[in-house]
């Protein structure tokens, strides 16, 4: 989870924003429309895309919107394209969104380095492919070095390239998805541009497109005419319609706008470089204690495998639970699916070397404990308010009071 400046929370709570009614007329919400317009322009600048919609409420919702736009585009061209290619390292929301948008999913196997190879792509790239979804850097924290060739293959096939922007924290200010061949993308504001990630809170998944897809964006668009901000339904003929009531999760948009303006271009680039440096530091300190299937250099995150490195009967799940005992928020585990006993480490840009060293020490200690005192790891957490839950029952029949 990223550190999110408290000042952004304060801005989101400003009375002037928080007391607005969504049915107020345009003239009375000029400031809010300006914030959204400015945020759209900033996201265009960061991504290289030409237009953005801020409506989708999460990354998955953005994927769904983006794929509906792609479906509508091919419909307008009267081309029958029914398939979406999804790499096997993708987040589960990718195939889910593709299915919901009415497509058939074609799974693409990553190569031995955990990336997409043109040779594997060639085998599944048929004439009925509408689009390929890619996450860059991918969920293993590896930059997809064959993008230029992949983009060429996809576009020569008449298909489009979708960028899952959940990992934009590694490349903002450094590489722009539109410049490297992508046509449509979403950004998870709650992963990169303030707003705490996790806990099921409100998110936001703006979708960016290149100009040839503008007419398919959700309605309404926010436009600027003679220094006035307006809500426009001009694209209603071809638009995919509305993705969310009113304008999206407005407080999340406010926080993102504040974050971008506070850091500026130089600050955003610095955040990415620092996030990448931090992840590589942690990786280099842990690489002799665990396996790192994708190699010894990463982007803003890396995925380790604890298989063969823990005491008998101890799993990654137990290590994650034991981390809670030492006061750490448990990281993502068992994802991506292509890594056995996976644990994902994403230290983010704001953590100091001291904090990273403490985390490395704790993780190393737990690995040792799993051999010398496996019982304590297996029974973890023991220092928390509740100990290990039956997770299925906790999800299905939650006790919401005591």
Distance CA 327, CA 215 (A): 49
Q: Given the rule CB under 6 A, which of 53-61, 146-154, 213-221, 239-247 is the region that contacts ligand PLP?
A: 53-61
Select 199 or 398, whichever has its Cβ closest to ligand PLP: 199
- On whether the CB atoms of residues 106 and 130 are closer than 8 A, the answer is no
Pick 185 or 366: Cβ nearer ligand PLP:
185
Q: Could you say which of 53, 55, 93, 316 contacts ligand PLP (CB under 6 A)?
A: 93
User: Which CB, 93 or 249, lies closer to ligand PLP?
Assistant: 93
Exactly one of 188, 278, 306, 370 binds ligand PLP (CB under 6 A); that residue is 188
Q: Which is nearer to ligand PLP, 33 or 172 (CB)?
A: 172
- The bridge status of strand 83-87 relative to strand 129-135 is parallel
**Taking the CB of residue 21, how many other CB atoms lie within 10 A of it?**
8
Interaction pattern, residues 213-252, with ligand PLP; x per rule: CB under 6 A: ----------------------------------------
Q: What angle do CA 116, 135, 346 make, to 5 degrees?
A: 110
Cβ 192 to ligand PLP shortest distance, Å: 11
Tell me which of 81, 91, 321, 322 binds ligand PLP, using CB under 6 A: 91
- Buried residues in 346-378 as b, exposed as e (16+ CB within 10 A): bbbbebeeeebeebbebbeebbebbeeebeebb
Residue 168 DSSP label = G
Per-residue burial over 316-333, b = 16 or more CB atoms within 10 Å of its CB, e = otherwise: bbbbbbbbbbbeeeebbb
- Shorter beta-carbon distance to ligand PLP: residue 138 or 370: 138
**Which residues, in sequence order, are bridge partners of residue 76?**
none
60 lines the binding site for ligand PLP (CB under 6 A): yes
Q: Does residue 118 contact residue 146 with C-beta atoms inside 8 Å?
A: yes
Query: By CB under 6 A, is residue 346 in contact with ligand PLP?
Result: no
The span of 57-65, 235-243, 307-315, 341-349 binding ligand PLP (CB under 6 A) equals 57-65
Does 68 sit near ligand PLP (CB under 6 A)?
A: no
CB-count exposure of residue 397 (10 Å: 0-12, 13-18, 19+):
exposed
Spell out, one character per residue from 128 to 167, where the chain touches ligand PLP: x when CB under 6 A holds, - when not. -------x---x------------------------x-x-
| Helix, strand, coil percent content, the chain, rounded in steps of 5 | 40, 15, 45
Return residues touching ligand PLP (CB under 6 A).
58-60, 91, 93, 135, 139, 164, 166, 188, 203, 205
């Amino acid at each position: 989870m990223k550190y999110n400046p408290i000042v952004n929370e304060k801005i989101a709570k400003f009375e002037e924003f928080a007391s607005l009614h969504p049915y107020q007329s345009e003239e009375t919400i000029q400031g809010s429309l300006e914030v959204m317009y400015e945020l759209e322009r900033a996201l265009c600048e960061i991504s290289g895309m030409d237009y953005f919609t801020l409506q989708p409420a999460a990354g998955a919702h953005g994927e769904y919107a983006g794929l509906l736009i792609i479906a509508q585009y091919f419909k307008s061209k009267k081309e029958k394209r029914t398939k979406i290619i999804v790499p096997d390292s993708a987040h589960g929301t990718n195939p889910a969104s593709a299915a919901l948008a009415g497509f058939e999913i074609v799974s693409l196997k990553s190569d031995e380095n955990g990336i997409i190879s043109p040779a594997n792509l060639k085998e599944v790239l048929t004439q009925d492919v509408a689009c390929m979804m890619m996450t860059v850097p991918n969920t293993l924290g590896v930059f997809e070095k064959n993008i230029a060739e992949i983009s060429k293959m996809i576009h020569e096939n008449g298909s489009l390239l979708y960028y899952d922007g959940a990992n934009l924290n590694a490349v903002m200010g450094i590489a722009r998805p539109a410049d490297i061949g992508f046509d449509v993308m979403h950004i998870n504001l709650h992963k990169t541009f303030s707003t705490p990630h996790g806990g099921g809170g409100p998110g936001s998944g703006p979708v960016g497109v290149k100009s040839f897809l503008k007419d398919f964006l959700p309605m309404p668009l926010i436009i600027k005419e003679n220094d006035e901000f307006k809500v426009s339904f001009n694209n209603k003929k071809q638009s995919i319609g509305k993705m969310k009531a009113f304008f999206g999760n407005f407080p999340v948009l406010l926080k993102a706008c504040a974050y971008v303006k506070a850091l500026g271009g130089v600050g955003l680039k610095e955040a990415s470089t620092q996030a990448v440096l931090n992840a590589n530091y942690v990786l280099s300190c842990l690489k002799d204690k665990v396996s790192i299937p994708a190699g010894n250099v990463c982007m803003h995150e890396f995925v380790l495998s604890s298989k063969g490195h823990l005491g008998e009967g101890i799993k990654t799940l137990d290590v994650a639970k034991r981390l809670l005992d030492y006061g750490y928020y448990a990281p993502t585990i068992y994802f991506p699916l292509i890594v056995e006993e996976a644990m994902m480490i994403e230290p983010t840009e704001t953590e100091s070397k001291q904090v990273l060293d403490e985390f490395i020490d704790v993780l190393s200690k737990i690995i040792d404990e799993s051999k010398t005192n496996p019982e304590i790891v297996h029974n973890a957490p023991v220092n928390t308010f509740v100990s290990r839950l039956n997770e299925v029952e906790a999800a299905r029949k939650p006790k919401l009071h005591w």
